[in-house]
Amino acid sequence: MFTQPGDGAQGRYDANVQHLYQAHTGVGPGGAVPCQVCGSLPAVHAVLRAHQGMFLIMRSRKREGFFCRSCGTSLQRQMTTDTLWQGWWGVMSFFITPVTVLLNLGPRARFRRLAEPYGGWRPPLDPGRRVLARPPALLILTPMTVLALVLGYGITAAALDDGSVASVRAGDCVRNLSTWPDQDLQPVDCASHLAEYRAARLEDCEGDEYLMRLEYAADAEALCLKLLGSG
C-alpha cells in the first residue's frame, strides 16, 4: 500500500516493513497507519525536506511518509541540521535553504502533538538534541544572528538619521554640531538657547551667510543659514 511507481528501494523497503508490521499486529487500531520507520502508533503523514547547495549545482532531498513522534522528530532534526550547514553554498541555494528550514516546521509541530509511540516492531529512532543545540546550527546561526543584528542596527540608525536630516524649512532653526565649513546640522526649537541659525530662502539672504547643504532641506530647496541675533 506504500509502494508507488518510481518509489525505488526505499519504497520496497517500506512496503516490506509494512507487511511485517501487519503480519505481527494486523492493521493499526482504527485503521491508523503506523510509523514506516519503526512500526509504532500513532503516526502522522509528513513531508520532510533537506537542501544542499554546491556552488553551481544543488540538490533537494525529500522524505515522505508516516512517522511516529520519535522517528519524525529525529528525521526532521537531522534533515534540518544537514540543510543548515550544507544548504547555503550557492546563489539560488541561499534563498531555498531558509524556505526548506521553514517548511520542516509544519511537520515538526505535527510530530510534537502525537502521543508517545508504542507497539513498534523495533525501537523508534532517538530524536537526539534539538536543532538549535547542534553544532551546525550554532556554527551557521551565530554569524547570521550577528549579521542580522548589525544590519538591523544599521537600517534603524539610517532610518533615524533620515528622520532628523532633510527636515529643515525656511524659518526653522538649527545648530551646527560640527565646525564650519563642515555641516552636521540638528534642527532645534528657535526659542531654545541651543539655536544658532535660522534657515532662510535665498531671496532673503544677504550673501554672507552659509549655504545650507541641500540634504538638510525638507523640500530640496536651497536655503541659507542666518546667524541668530544678526537680524
Residue from the set 18, 40, 78, 93 that interacts with Zn ion by CB under 5 A: 40
68 or 168: CB nearest Zn ion: 68
**Host H or E run for residue 34:** none
53 or 124: CB nearest Zn ion: 124
Closest approach of Zn ion to the CB of residue 74, in Å: 8
DSSP string, 148-195: HHHHHHHHHHHHHHHHHSS-B-TT-EEEESS-TTS--EEEE-TTSTT-
Could you give the CA distance from residue 229 to residue 191 in angstroms, rounded to a whole number? 12
Candidates 63-71, 90-98, 154-162, 219-227; binding stretch for Zn ion (CB under 5 A): 63-71
Closest approach of Zn ion to the CB of residue 39, in Å: 7
Burial class (CB in 10 A: 0-12, 13-18, 19+), 140: middle
Q: Which of residues 118-157 bind Zn ion (CB under 5 A)?
A: 124
Residue from the set 17, 38, 50, 79 that interacts with Zn ion by CB under 5 A: 38
Could you give the CA distance from residue 15 to residue 17 in angstroms, rounded to a whole number? 5
Residues 6+ apart with CB under 8 A from 193: none
Question: Angle at CA 212, nearest 5°, toward 210 and 217?
Answer: 160
Q: Per CB under 5 A, does 37 bind Zn ion?
A: yes
> Treating both helix axes as pointing N-terminal to C-terminal, what angle do 135-164 and 69-86 enclose, rounded to 10 degrees?
60
Query: Using an 8 Å Cβ cutoff, are 71 and 35 in contact?
Result: yes
Q: Per CB under 5 A, does 53 bind Zn ion?
A: no
Closest approach of Zn ion to the CB of residue 35, in Å: 3
33 or 174: CB nearest Zn ion: 33
Kindly state the number of chain residues that form the binding site for Zn ion, as judged by CB under 5 A.
7
99 or 109: CB nearest Zn ion: 109
71 or 199: CB nearest Zn ion: 71
Side-chain-facing half-sphere of 129: CA atoms under 13 Å: 9
Residues 6+ apart with CB under 8 A from 7: 14
Tell me the residue length of the chain.
231
Closest approach of Zn ion to the CB of residue 42, in Å: 10
37 or 212: CB nearest Zn ion: 37
Closest approach of Zn ion to the CB of residue 40, in Å: 5
Residue from the set 17, 33, 35, 185 that interacts with Zn ion by CB under 5 A: 35
40 or 78: CB nearest Zn ion: 40
Which residues form the interface with Zn ion (CB under 5 A)? 35, 37-38, 40, 68, 71, 124
